[in-house]
Amino acid sequence: MSSPVLPYKALIKLQRTSTTPVYLQIANRLIQLMHEGLLQPGAALPSSREMAALLQVHRKTIVAAYEELMAQDWIVSEERKAVMVSPDLPQTKPRSFGNKVQPSTYTLTTGFDFNHMSLPLTSMSNAGSHRLIINDGFPDARIAPIDALMKAYQRLYRLPSMQRNIIYGHLAGALSLRKELASFLHASRGVQCTAQHILVTRGAQMALFVAAQIILKPGDTVIVGEPNYGMANMVFTNCGAKLLPVPVDENGIDVDRIEAICKKKVPKLLYIIPHHHHPTTVTLSPQRRMQLLQLIRQYNIAVIEDDYDYDFHYNSSPVLPLASASHNGNVIYIGSLTKSLTTTMKVGYMVAPENFIDTALQWRRLIDIRGDNLLEEALATLFQSGVMQQHLKKSLKLYHQRRDYFCALLHEHLRDVIDFTVPAGGMATWATIYKKYSLPALAAKASAQGLFINDGKFYNTGSVNYNALRMGFASLNEKEMEEAIKVLRSVFGLK
């Protein structure tokens, strides 16, 4: 069978600096030529000597390439030297190489839709390119006990017992961390639970996602605050649930409105952020909290209590979470250690009845098998040695000072253009921009001066344009705050 002699020299570009051996590069490229139909079943290949001359490589390299192809059944050798493409390969049509510039074979042809997810994806992704960032309320990574954590991690990594343990670590998370969390939650906020009631997740978001999958079916109703944490709304909507927004005022979510809804038709789920509500930073008042607990017991509503920010409260100790009270096992409590460490290292948890946790484990392993058990073990040692508690104390004090300093600066320099209330806790202030200014325009101007601020679109979860943003103070030192405020004054056109 005669075959055209292909321009092998042009078709087989060798990368001498690649970590892939040259013989493999040649073999892989020849396989691609077979795919693409340029080398058809039964086509003859140049002898190893000829091919070596064409490609300017040693003949042994071609012999190795051909041996590789034979081992994989791509080519056959009839005599000693003549090799040809295996006649058993199915025929494919030749394709042009003309437009084979940088690849985009990837163009999806199967249909899918995701229209209900409308929160902007990219508005924050360019934040890192700025000299200064006022973030949404994240901790200062510079003070996190990362060295102690890494040290513990490396020490544990070397223990033979740990090597055995981690391969099949518990799906709910390292037992040592769940035990530490159980006593921490009891001591710090009166939540009575044991390790069996805890699922450690990659972050509060995963706990929220999993809890929603378990509780909600398409058509179910969910009471949420208006405004609300946008990512929570997206999770519920994605489950096919209908949102019932209830206003949030300075005392938290309006519980009378919740009661009115329950009287008509009991919703399936209530989502609540009791401390430093996202985005508004308000805390649910003790009165409303008690009233809400009665409603939960009376109407048997499932509740997701997202208490991501409990550990950072400055004015007094925070009101205990709903989960610490009697709630007929209806409250799924969600928290996070991320806020205590750094945003990059996400560790969250869900506290729930045992049968709920059992189901959550099934979901969690579908999504992610399990977390980093070794990191969890290392975190547990930080609790055991008190490093974590000391770090929390230190952070609380520092962020308290930073809140005061930042709010003083806001009051002194920007009170004529923004409204804000000093938050009782958390890592951010909710600042409403006076209507005559457009927040997205301000954000663009600030960006040009090297300062990133949120353009506010993320908070407009309903049809309302709040023209407001969260201004995170926890991760900025005083000098950085002063610089940021200076840029903001200029952006607002203040002298």
Please list every residue from 21 through 60 that binds a second copy, using CB under 8 A.
Answer: 24-25, 27-29, 31-32, 34-36
107 binds a second copy (CB under 8 A): yes
Residue 149, classified by CB atoms within 10 Å of its CB into exposed (0-12), middle (13-18) or buried (19+), is buried
- Binder among 3, 47, 92, 465 for a second copy (CB under 8 A): 92
Least Å distance, CB 295 to a second copy, is 10
154 to 173, contacts with a second copy by CB under 8 A?
154, 157, 161, 163-171
- Binder among 61, 68, 222, 278 for a second copy (CB under 8 A): 68
302 to 341, contacts with a second copy by CB under 8 A?
302, 315-317, 319-320, 324-330
Q: What share of the chain is helix, strand, coil (3-state, %, to 5)?
A: 45, 15, 45
Which residue in this structure is represented by tokens 């321009």?
Answer: 7
Please tell me the total number of residues recorded for the chain in this structure. Answer: 495
What span, in angstroms and rounded, lies between the C-alpha atoms of 476 and 140? Answer: 7
Mark out the alpha helices in 337-417 (DSSP H runs): 354-368, 373-384, 387-414
Cβ proximity to a second copy, 417 vs 447, nearer residue: 447
Count of residues engaged in binding a second copy, rule: CB under 8 A: 132
Q: For a second copy, which stretch binds (CB under 8 A), given 3-11, 202-210, 397-405, 415-423? A: 202-210
On whether the CB atoms of residues 469 and 453 are closer than 8 A, the answer is yes
- Binder among 177, 195, 197, 278 for a second copy (CB under 8 A): 197
Least Å distance, CB 281 to a second copy, is 17
Least Å distance, CB 1 to a second copy, is 19
477 binds a second copy (CB under 8 A): no
- Binder among 265, 355, 436, 463 for a second copy (CB under 8 A): 355
Cβ proximity to a second copy, 9 vs 151, nearer residue: 151
Name the β-bridge partners of 305: 272, 333
The answer for residues whose C-beta is within 8 angstroms of residue 42's C-beta and 6 or more apart is 1, 84, 85, 87
The answer for residues whose C-beta is within 8 angstroms of residue 447's C-beta and 6 or more apart is 126, 130
127 binds a second copy (CB under 8 A): yes
415 to 434, contacts with a second copy by CB under 8 A?
none
361 binds a second copy (CB under 8 A): yes
Cβ proximity to a second copy, 53 vs 171, nearer residue: 171
73 binds a second copy (CB under 8 A): yes
What is the Cα 373 distance to its own chain's centre? 18
What span, in angstroms and rounded, lies between the C-alpha atoms of 471 and 459? Answer: 13
Q: What is the number of alpha carbons within 13 Å of residue 430 lying toward its C-beta? A: 21
Cβ proximity to a second copy, 268 vs 489, nearer residue: 268
On whether the CB atoms of residues 152 and 177 are closer than 8 A, the answer is no
Residue 284 three-state SS: coil
What span, in angstroms and rounded, lies between the C-alpha atoms of 258 and 237? Answer: 19
Please name the helix (run of DSSP H) or strand (run of DSSP E) that holds residue 294, with its range, or none.
helix 286-299
463 binds a second copy (CB under 8 A): no
223 binds a second copy (CB under 8 A): no
- Binder among 369, 416, 435, 463 for a second copy (CB under 8 A): 369
Q: For a second copy, which stretch binds (CB under 8 A), given 257-265, 286-294, 443-451, 482-490? A: 286-294
